[in-house]
A and B are shown apart, each in its own frame.
Chain A
Amino acid sequence: GNSVTQMEGPVTLSEEAFLTINCTYTATGYPSLFWYVQYPGEGLQLLLKATKADDKGSNKGFEATYRKETTSFHLEKGSVQVSDSAVYFCALRNDAGNMLTFGGGTRLMVKP
């Protein structure tokens, strides 16, 4: 079956530090991969996505590259801000339909 594994948090960084949140997956076929962000008290918002191997998704300074050889989709940002403090979820969608499989989420805290 499908599964997504994320690094456990919380991840605590100072403002302007480099961010990496690791995500690896197990899936049959050729899934699409997603990063969602959840700000305090809100629902999940799509941050970025990649639909095939070697695709790079990017948004708001965040990037992630679909690496089929290592089954990974690590989230990176070169310089985090306090406003990036949130919970980040990695997810995959199998070719079979609209079902998402989520990782456990990683809480990011950015200190000024």
Chain B
Amino acid sequence: DAGITQSPRYKITETGRQVTLMCHQTWSHSYMFWYRQDLGHGLRLIYYSAAADITDKGEVPDGYVVSRSKTENFPLTLESATRSQTSVYFCASAGHEQYFGPGTRLTVT
């Protein structure tokens, strides 16, 4: 299916565990983004990528790692999850406009 997908859609993990959120797009867009959405903070940019092997920090990058070895994939890793990283995470890709995935709801206990 064409579009942008995220997996898993829901995840519960424990403090200190490593978690990877996956993002896949089928448009071959150069730009991809990771956001987190929290009540009272709106959408905040975590990391973005302008092309394969090119990534850069956004507004709130601490505690997160990204990679982009292929144009279509942009995984986000929480190396040691903390409760403050409980959030809804959105991936997006951009051609002329940004298109968003359905989101991953992550709970860190």
Chain B 30-59: CB-based contact to A (< 8 A → 1; otherwise 0): 010000000001110100101000000000
Name the CB-closest residue of B to A99: B48
Interface size on B, residues (CB 8 A): 17
Name the CB-closest residue of A to B9: A41
Q: Shortest Cβ distance from B27 into chain A, in angstroms?
A: 13
Q: Contacts of A44 on B, CB cut-off 8 Å?
A: 43, 90, 92, 100
Partner of A89, one of B31, B42, B99, B101: B42
Partner of B102, one of A42, A46, A100: A42
Q: Shortest Cβ distance from B60 into chain A, in angstroms?
A: 13
Question: Is A43 an interface residue when CB atoms closer than 8 A count as contact?
Answer: yes
Q: Contacts of B48 on A, CB cut-off 8 Å?
A: 99
Q: Contacts of B102 on A, CB cut-off 8 Å?
A: 42-43
